[in-house]
Amino acid sequence: MQQFGVIGLSVMGKNLALNARNHGISVSGFSIDKPEVDAFAKYEDDKLKAYDSWEEFVNSLEKPRKILIQIMAGEKSY
């Protein structure tokens, strides 16, 4: 189970997730953008997991779930 979740894996979300992982926090990342998920998955290890499935992402997090939403404003966010 991961300790922390990040929704949105563009530049800011990805780097926040990597920073948390580098400080010992296990992180799950989620995006609806498949290329973002694929790019994030290159960093996967036991402390960092990438998901394009909402259900798998939510189920990967320990309870109570702690989730940061870091999405870009625009068409996909409405």
Please report, for the domain that includes residue 49, its CATH number. Answer: 3.40.50.720
pLDDT of residue 35: 96
What would the two tokens of residue 34 be? 């498949």
Q: How many domains does the chain have?
A: 1
Q: Span 8-37, mean pLDDT?
A: 97
Q: Span 56-66, mean pLDDT?
A: 98
Range of the domain at 18: 4-77
Rounded-to-5 percentages of helix, strand, coil across the chain: 35, 25, 40
- For residue 50, the cross-strand partners are 29
pLDDT of residue 74: 77
